[in-house]
């Protein structure tokens, strides 16, 4: 590659990064307005027209705050932990294609890569909670570990069905294989993956690591300013990632009549994001032992059943 190509790659990377951060920021704004509407309130409407500049104001406020490390915290880990969360999610986006022609990297192990990064992400929460050296964050961090081992397994197993049907780990090829969206062929897998995805992003009803009513702010209690913003950014990028993955894996990605592929992709992703917000306003939180019970006793058997059925039906199909 020559210099021009390198520059082009770097520029496009920067553009994607900026775009994702902006999307996450406006998701926060969108969430606050949507939650407000669902709760008979107005939500932020002061900064700019319809409050559209609210995310800018929020970011400015968080950036301008003092970067404070509590004296009792493990300084190095405490500083690294908040970076892990958005970093792993951003890296996952590298393999997420947006349409037939728009994609950054098309790995043949894309799905495994995404799963691996999502497992790494939880380190941000655990280490953040642990390094704070304070009781509420510690409990929050431990809970996120308990949560991860409960949803990771069914999540991975739910994906195997998709891989079996499409015969590929590449997200582009999985979408290409969906002449019929996989939600029709894999309804159980879709539900399992979506529920695990909500758990993965620590959103209600699975926001146990944060659980403000018990744990003040859970794993990020001691964090403030830009470090807190990183956790926050990671959470919303996580939602975006899960919504995009569900769209790609089960909803046929960019497939759809009349409109261009990108628009279809965006619409489906936004609808899923709305679902996340809607759930947040409607549901109470589970207890962590209930989540573990649910993960191991309901989701895991269901995922295995789904796998068996897919394999069995597939075999039957091929025989005939």
Q: Which residue lies nearer to other proteins by CB, 68 or 278?
A: 278
Residue holding tokens 């039906």?
Answer: 313
Q: Which residue lies nearer to other proteins by CB, 35 or 176?
A: 35
Contact status: 287 vs other proteins (CB under 8 A): yes
Contact status: 211 vs other proteins (CB under 8 A): yes
In the chain the first and final C-alpha atoms are separated, in Å, by 49
Q: Binding segment for other proteins among 54-62, 211-219, 262-270, 297-305 (CB under 8 A)?
A: 211-219
Among 19, 22, 212, 305, the residue binding other proteins under the rule CB under 8 A is 212
Contact status: 5 vs other proteins (CB under 8 A): no
Contact status: 297 vs other proteins (CB under 8 A): no
**Token duo for residue 52:** 């559209």
Q: Which of residues 132-151 bind other proteins (CB under 8 A)?
A: 135-136, 139
Q: Which of residues 18-37 bind other proteins (CB under 8 A)?
A: 35
Among 101, 213, 257, 318, the residue binding other proteins under the rule CB under 8 A is 213
Contact status: 205 vs other proteins (CB under 8 A): yes
Among 281, 296, 309, 314, the residue binding other proteins under the rule CB under 8 A is 281
Cβ(184)–Cβ(178) below 8 Å: no
Contact status: 283 vs other proteins (CB under 8 A): yes
Q: Which residue lies nearer to other proteins by CB, 9 or 290?
A: 290
Provide the minimum distance between the beta carbon of 204 and other proteins in the complex, in angstroms, as a whole number: 6
Spatial CA neighbour of 135 closest among 79, 85, 81, 72: 72
Each residue 216-235 as x (binds other proteins by CB under 8 A) or -, in order, gives x-------------------
Provide the minimum distance between the beta carbon of 216 and other proteins in the complex, in angstroms, as a whole number: 6
Spatial CA neighbour of 300 closest among 164, 150, 122: 150
Separation between Cα atoms, residue 68 and residue 319, nearest integer Å: 64
Among 60, 260, 282, 298, the residue binding other proteins under the rule CB under 8 A is 282
Separation between Cα atoms, residue 317 and residue 38, nearest integer Å: 46
Instruction: Using CB under 8 A, list all residues that contact other proteins.
Output: 35, 38-41, 135-136, 139, 204-205, 207-208, 211-214, 216, 280-290
């Amino acid at each position: 590659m020559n210099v021009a190509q390198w520059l082009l790659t770097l520029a496009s990377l920067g553009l994607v990064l900026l775009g994702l951060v902006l999307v996450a920021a406006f998701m926060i704004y969108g969430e606050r307005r949507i939650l407000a509407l669902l709760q008979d309130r107005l939500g932020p409407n002061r900064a700019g027209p319809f409050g559209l500049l609210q995310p800018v104001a929020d970011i400015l406020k968080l950036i301008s705050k003092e970067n404070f490390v509590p004296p009792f915290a493990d300084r190095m880990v405490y500083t690294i932990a908040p970076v892990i969360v958005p970093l792993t999610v951003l890296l996952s986006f590298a393999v997420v294609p947006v349409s037939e022609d728009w994609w950054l990297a098309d790995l043949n192990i894309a799905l495994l890569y995404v799963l691996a990064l999502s497992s790494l992400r939880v380190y941000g929460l655990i280490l953040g909670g642990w390094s704070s050296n304070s009781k509420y964050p510690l409990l929050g961090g431990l809970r996120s570990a308990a949560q991860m081992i409960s949803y990771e397994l069914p999540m991975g197993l739910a994906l195997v069905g998709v891989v079996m049907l499409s015969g590929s780990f590449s997200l582009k090829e999985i979408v290409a294989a969906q002449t019929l969206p996989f939600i029709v062929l894999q309804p159980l897998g879709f539900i399992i993956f979506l529920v695990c995805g909500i758990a993965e992003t620590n959103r209600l009803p699975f926001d146990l690591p944060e659980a403000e009513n018990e744990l003040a702010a859970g794993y990020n209690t001691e964090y403030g300013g830009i470090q807190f913003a990183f956790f926050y950014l990671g959470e919303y990028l996580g939602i975006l990632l899960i919504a995009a993955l569900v769209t790609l894996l089960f909803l046929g990605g960019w497939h759809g009549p009349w409109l261009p592929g990108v628009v279809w992709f965006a619409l489906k992703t936004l609808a899923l994001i709305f679902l996340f917000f809607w759930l947040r306003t409607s549901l109470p939180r589970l207890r962590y032992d209930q989540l573990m019970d649910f993960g191991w006793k309901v989701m895991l058997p269901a995922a295995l059943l789904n796998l068996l059925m897919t394999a069995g039906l597939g075999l039957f199909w091929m025989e005939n």
